[in-house]
């Protein structure tokens, strides 16, 4: 059933049944004992002249400098990567190989693979390690080299991000979601991309059920391309009009190339510490980790939107942080396609279910809107080096909370949220992470 365009009043953000923020600011501070003290990100893009080790050395060195820390300060490292086995044959102990070369020795180095949510998972594990009392300073780093002269390697990266034993059944089940929205004549074929074909089918299902339009998808992509012009680390830094997005090469209707994330190289890192360790570092730049939630999906019907894994993760994160969607100043969400931003806008409670397209069309998610989303340019423009993307989101949000994001600064940022998903299982991502930071 097609939904009519809501009024501004009817599209007010809802609370996801989360208690409102406490009137006692000390309650939030006392509940939080982990601090983000260092962040970094390399440029994202096609970096054929860079190695994994050089990207790791750059981003970890920059994160240490940002934290005013040294290698001996770090008690544990979590290293996220998904593609080295395919691209260069490093099947195991990837983190040890990358980090030893820059001086990390003797400490636990733990390798993380969680598809596109690898970076966020590394951060989640670093936080859990500190909360367990096993260290007081932890490093999380994500890195990928996805661009290769042999394009078959770059394509093979995505082959294992769903159930390889059930590919036919998975493709059939997900492909059927979009059956209610017929593909227009002349739009039946585009550039072959199995993952984007799945995204396109789910997008068509949303269009059929809620009235989301092709133009709204283009509005989201155009907004993100505009945001990326203010991000010097973004893979693409060129604005695109809505009409240019719609006219882009067809991937799988309704998704055109500018609506989809590219293949990218890059690295990002974060350093977190306990409250007691904070005394050794600069408090003025430290940010509070109010929530770090990691969930897997469940067996559900596609139309059971209330149990989407990202919505479940968001509910848990808001509860841990003691705040609700209306309190978030800025967000970075996993927009492997522009529809990804629309559905996550709904899952995170920034607008009502089914109204993500209208919400973006009114400018609510643009810089200057009620909840700026993906001021970095998002994965569509900033780039998507899989395991580095989640920590790249954390880097972006830290800039805003510190008030140093430059031309794309969201003024008065107090609370920031990152949502990062990975893989496909059933009718949704296989894994999702939601992180909330606060000044």
Residues labelled as active-site residues: 116, 384
- List, in sequence order, every beta strand (DSSP E) within 105-234: 109-112, 137-144
Instruction: Indicate left, alpha or beta for 210 from its phi (over 0: left) and psi (-120 to 50: alpha).
Output: alpha
- Residues 6 or more apart in contact with residue 263 via CB below 8 angstroms: 46, 146, 147, 154, 157, 384
Mark 23-57 as b/e (b = at least 16 C-beta within 10 Å). eeeeebeeebbbbbbbbbbbbbbebeebebebbbb
Backbone angles phi, psi at 425, to 5 degrees: -150, 130
Instruction: Indicate left, alpha or beta for 115 from its phi (over 0: left) and psi (-120 to 50: alpha).
Output: left
- Picking from 119, 160, 153, 148, the residue whose alpha carbon sits closest to that of residue 51 is 148
Helix (H, G, I), strand (E, B) or coil at 434: strand
- List, in sequence order, every beta strand (DSSP E) within 96-153: 109-112, 137-144
Would the CA dihedral through 323, 325, 331, 337 be positive or negative? positive
21 secondary structure, DSSP code: P
- CA distance readout (Å), 41 to 143, 268, 372: 10, 4, 21
Alpha carbon distance 371, 413 (integer Å): 10
* Biggest distance spanned by C-alpha atoms of the chain: 64
Would the CA dihedral through 54, 385, 396, 133 be positive or negative? negative
| Whether 144 contacts 387, CB under 8 Å | yes
Token pair in block for residue 84? 């080295």
Residue 38 CB-half CA count within 13 A: 28
Residue 17, Cα to own-chain centre: how many angstroms?
24
| Whether 379 contacts 261, CB under 8 Å | yes
């Amino acid at each position: 059933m097609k939904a009519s365009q809501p009024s501004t009043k009817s599209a007010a953000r809802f609370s996801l049944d989360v208690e409102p923020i406490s009137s006692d600011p000390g309650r939030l501070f006392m509940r939080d004992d982990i601090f983000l003290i260092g962040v970094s990100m390399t440029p994202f893009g096609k970096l054929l002249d860079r190695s994994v080790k050089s990207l790791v050395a750059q981003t970890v060195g920059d994160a240490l400098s940002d934290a005013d820390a040294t290698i001996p300060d770090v008690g544990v490292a979590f290293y996220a990567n998904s593609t080295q086995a395919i691209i260069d044959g490093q099947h195991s102990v990837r983190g040890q190989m990358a980090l030893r070369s820059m001086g990390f020795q003797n400490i636990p180095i733990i390798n993380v693979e969680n598809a596109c949510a690898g970076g966020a998972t590394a951060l989640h594990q670093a936080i859990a390690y500190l909360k367990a009392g096993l260290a007081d300073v932890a490093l999380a780093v994500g890195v990928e080299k996805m661009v290769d002269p042999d394009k078959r390697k770059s394509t093979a990266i995505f082959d294992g991000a769903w159930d390889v034993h059930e590919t036919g059944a998975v493709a059939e089940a997900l492909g059927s979601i979009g059956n209610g929205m017929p593909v227009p004549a002349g739009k039946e074929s585009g550039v072959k991309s199995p993952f984007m074909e799945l995204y396109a089918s789910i997008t068509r299902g949303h269009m059929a059920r809620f009235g989301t339009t092709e133009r709204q998808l283009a509005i989201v992509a155009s907004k993100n391309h505009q945001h990326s012009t203010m991000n010097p680390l973004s893979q693409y830094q060129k604005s695109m009009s809505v009409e240019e997005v719609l006219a882009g090469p067809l991937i799988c209707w309704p998704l055109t190339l500018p609506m989809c994330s590219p293949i990218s190289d890059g690295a990002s890192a974060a350093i977190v510490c306990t409250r007691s360790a904070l005394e050794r570092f600069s408090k003025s730049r430290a940010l509070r980790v109010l929530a770090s939630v990691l969930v897997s999906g469940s067996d559900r019907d596609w139309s059971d939107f209330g149990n989407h894994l990202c919505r479940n993760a968001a509910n848990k994160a808001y509860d841990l942080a003691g705040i609700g969607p209306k309190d978030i100043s800025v967000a970075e969400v996993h927009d492997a396609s522009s529809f990804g931003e629309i559905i996550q806008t709904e899952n995170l409670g920034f607008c009502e279910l089914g109204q993500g397209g209208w919400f973006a069309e009114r400018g609510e998610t643009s810089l200057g809107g009620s909840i700026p989303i993906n001021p970095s340019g998002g994965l569509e423009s900033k780039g998507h080096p899989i395991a580095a993307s989640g920590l790249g989101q954390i880097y972006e949000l830290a800039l805003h909370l510190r008030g140093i994001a430059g031309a794309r600064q969201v003024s008065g940022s107090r609370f920031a949220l990152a949502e990062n998903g990975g893989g496909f299982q059933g009718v949704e991502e296989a894994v999702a992470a939601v992180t909330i930071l606060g000044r």
